[in-house]
Structure 1
Amino acid sequence: MERRRFVTAGAALAATLPAWSPTGAAAATRPRTVAGRLPALADVVSVLRLVADHWIGANTDPGDNQWARATFFSGLMALHRLTGEPRYLSYARGWAEKHSYALNGGVTTRHADNHCAGQTYLDLYALEPEQAKIAAIEASLRRMIAAPDGYDDWTWCDALHMAMPPFARLGVLRGESAFADTMHGLYTHTKSAEGGPGLYDTGSGLWYRDARFLPGGITSPGGLPVLWSRGNGWVAAAHVKVLSALPTTHRDAPEYRRTLAAGLTALRKVQRADGFWNVNLADPAHLPGPETSGTAFFTYATAYAARTGLVTAGQYRPIVAGAWNGLVTTAVHPDGFLGYVQGVGDRPESSQPVTYDTTADFGVGAFLLAGAEVAALAGT
């Protein structure tokens, strides 16, 4: 298709601005959510295969080992766990071997984006344990544990998705609490306004992308807060992956569960009639239209929460169904191309316009993660 454009890929807050909630202007224009049922498990798997196969066929070179492509491979490995398809494992293994299981920036990197590849390296290690596969990610995280440097590395909310899962998984793998302790210190700095940027809005249960968007900072053209959909999607996915790795009895697990549940409560109130979520969760008039990446991450997190009992399944299964059915009927092309993906950026205005023919590797990865959880929920 010639028109396709592939993309490379709280209390303290309320003191300055009342915490956003889905009332007033946002509620006035918010439509009722989609009704519907989850499709059959076989139908979910079929569309996942279609989308994955299209991406692989169009990208014979598996690409770099930076965060965007690494997110795709996290999704592909979720699909492999669901289907057992050897081609998906082979493609992921080839990508990791192409980069010698190394990190962009080397083992001295502290940048969360560079740690995202470690998620797939850990997936591959789990299937075929060889220390070389996780040597780089383990060495890099151990350097951060040894010199935490004030826990101020993660100043943007996306970082939680990129780096928290390797910390959680390595801690469990090695049986060492230092990984989860350091992770929680970094997370708390990002989340709390006491000593950190305070990106978590306790009033809404949602997150600002970074300090520029905090109360008193950047707002939408309509004067409302900017609570970016994909930024909140990264955060939701981070919580799912960490909770999936940590023992349910872990000291910090209740906080992670509460925070995820609060976010999903907020999201349930602002889902669009077509099943999607707007690029600005706080202002539906701000660049309205379907957007796949944020919606896919929210579908992933909501399906996980409904399946595991974190939220009430009877209330949230329709949210999952509406989102998944919207994604499949609106964003998936007949040949498996996934559209309406907002490209690389940090706010609603980034990589606009978002159209039926815009895609990105991380968006496909988010869709595969979502589908794997929808399949698990559909099977219950």
Structure 2
Amino acid sequence: MKRLLLILLVFATTKNMGQQMDNKAIETAMVKAMEWQEAHPIFALAPTDWTNGAYYVGVSKAHETTKNPIFLAALKTQGYRNHWKPLYRTYHADDVAISYSYLYANSTRKNLVDLGPTKEFLDTHLYEPNKWKDGTDKNKEKKILWWWCDALFMAPPVITVYTKQTGEEKYLDAMHKYYMETYDLLFDQEEHLFARDTRYQWGVNEKDLKEPNGKKIFWARGNGWVLGGLALVLTDLPKDYEHYDFYLNLYKKIAARIKSLQHEDGLWRTSLLSPESWNHGEVSASGFYTYALAWGVNNGILDKATYVPAVTKAWNALAACQHENGMVGWVQDIGADPQPATADSWQNYGTGAFLLAGSELLKLER
């Protein structure tokens, strides 16, 4: 009996050491990714644009999980440098994404952050008229506030965190109103995926856009924005909120579909239904999926036996896309539809997705 107990103790200790070693490697990879990204700043419009917004969401979650001060230092530095301000296009969801990192920094120390600029943005964005809300934009696809699926990552997580910190629940109802507009417009009830915008929907345009294999075009990163955004929203959305079940059920539906589209190498292709179009993995979409699926397991929403193997395989594949210097490659450039990537293609939002994935893998009981 004593011998059996000793064997069990050794097995448990070895298993725990193995997981600690794996976690150490994951955190090391995350730190290297952030250090490389901080040394190679990049943005599309300004340091407060959506690309940095997505990147610093990853940095926020990296600190939340690891408590490593290097991540918090980066968050504070960029926040002070930006004077805690979003970008200037108050009608555009992209331009408030950076506020997620401000709100996270604010949670680490009371009164650290000036939330005034974020409140001003949200009040204008959600409640004031603009050319998309009133349908006067010259582009026919831009007839609702959040007319592209990426927007569901950019604004809703900010709104749920802002509500959590301030207690101003009116923002949740405004969020739900505009989220439902996007859902009703872009969610494909047959495929359980989001079209990027109305240009990629069938039966809406004079000539339906399609992949060479005849399938509908579903962009991997576009759906990564949605699924990653849902995980972020559900993290802070009160469970007693009247529409909570809508977000939970949508998350489960998309998560199951995304898992079914994972490739044997662990990554997802840029075109979800036409993987042969660009037959290689893509890191930004795969990072968001890995984060969202691992989050579901960690929160008891997704079945562990079903999803842990997929998530573990995905992280191993993501880690293989990181260069020795910390750069995360195989990231598709800025776009709106499936396009190729290479081992040397990178973007800050790809690093953010990598950090998000690592932040949940560290919590995963493997």
Under TM normalisation by the shorter chain, which class is it? 0.7 to 0.9
Contact 2:105 2:112 (8 Å CA) reproduced? no
Aligned match of 1:335: 325
2:250 is the counterpart of 1:284: no
RMSD in angstroms over aligned alpha carbons?
2.1
1:50 corresponds to which of 26, 29, 32: 32
Identity %: 27
Correspondences of 1:184-199 after superposition (within 5 Å): 184-192=176-184, 198-199=185-186
Contact 2:148 2:196 (8 Å CA) reproduced? yes
Contact 2:92 2:125 (8 Å CA) reproduced? no
2: CA distance between counterparts of 1:309 and 1:125?
28
What code does the residue aligned with 2:189 have?
T
2:200 corresponds to which of 192, 206, 213: 213
2:168 corresponds to which of 170, 176, 184: 176
What code does the residue aligned with 1:90 have?
A
What code does the residue aligned with 1:174 have?
T
1: CA distance between counterparts of 2:276 and 2:357?
26
Aligned match of 1:234: 225
1:98 corresponds to which of 61, 81, 84: 81
Contact 1:204 1:263 (8 Å CA) reproduced? no
Deviation, 1:230, is: 0.1
1:167 corresponds to which of 159, 162, 172: 159
Deviation, 1:219, is: 1.0
2: CA distance between counterparts of 1:82 and 1:268?
24
Which residues of structure 1 form unaligned runs of 5+? 1-36, 193-197
Contact 1:280 1:286 (8 Å CA) reproduced? yes
Aligned match of 2:234: 243
Higher Cα radius of gyration:
2
2:103 is the counterpart of 1:112: no
1:295 corresponds to which of 261, 286, 296: 286
Deviation, 1:147, is: 3.5
Q: Provide TM-score, normalisation by structure 2.
A: 0.86
1:364 corresponds to which of 351, 354, 364: 351
Deviation, 1:85, is: 2.5
Contact 1:124 1:133 (8 Å CA) reproduced? no
What code does the residue aligned with 2:263 have?
R
Deviation, 1:342, is: 0.4
What code does the residue aligned with 2:31 have?
R
Deviation, 1:145, is: 4.0
Aligned match of 1:375: 362
Which residues of structure 2 form unaligned runs of 5+? 1-17, 135-142
In structure 2, the residue corresponding to 1:376 is in which secondary structure?
A: coil
1:65 corresponds to which of 42, 48, 53: 48
2: CA distance between counterparts of 1:130 and 1:138?
15
1: CA distance between counterparts of 2:330 and 2:34?
16
Deviation, 1:223, is: 1.8
Deviation, 1:183, is: 0.3
1: CA distance between counterparts of 2:281 and 2:41?
25
Q: Provide TM-score, normalisation by structure 1.
A: 0.82
What code does the residue aligned with 1:161 have?
F
Greater relative contact order, per chain length (Cα 8 Å cut-off, separation 6+): 1
2: CA distance between counterparts of 1:116 and 1:282?
29
What code does the residue aligned with 2:273 have?
A
Q: Cα deviation per residue 1:62-83 (whole Å; 9 max; x = unaligned)?
A: x711000111111112112222
What code does the residue aligned with 2:24 have?
A
2:22 corresponds to which of 18, 40, 56: 40
Q: Where do 4+ consecutive residues of structure 1 move more than 3 Å? A: 57-61, 144-151
2: CA distance between counterparts of 1:272 and 1:155?
30
Q: Cα deviation per residue 1:159-184 (whole Å; 9 max; x = unaligned)?
A: 01000011111222222221110000
Moved more, 125-134 or 75-84: 125-134
1:136 corresponds to which of 117, 130, 141: 117
1: CA distance between counterparts of 2:249 and 2:28?
34
2:302 is the counterpart of 1:315: no
2: CA distance between counterparts of 1:59 and 1:173?
30
What code does the residue aligned with 2:115 have?
I
Deviation, 1:47, is: 1.5
Q: How many residues align?
A: 331
Contact 1:145 1:178 (8 Å CA) reproduced? no
Deviation, 1:317, is: 0.5
Relative distance call for 1:375 and 1:266 in structure 2 (3 A) is: same
2:260 is the counterpart of 1:269: yes
2: CA distance between counterparts of 1:147 and 1:57?
39
Moved more, 234-243 or 83-92: 83-92
2: CA distance between counterparts of 1:254 and 1:50?
38
2:106 corresponds to which of 125, 143, 165: 125
In structure 1, the residue corresponding to 2:27 is in which secondary structure?
A: helix
Aligned match of 2:296: 305
1: CA distance between counterparts of 2:41 and 2:124?
34
Contact 1:168 1:245 (8 Å CA) reproduced? yes
Deviation, 1:129, is: 2.8
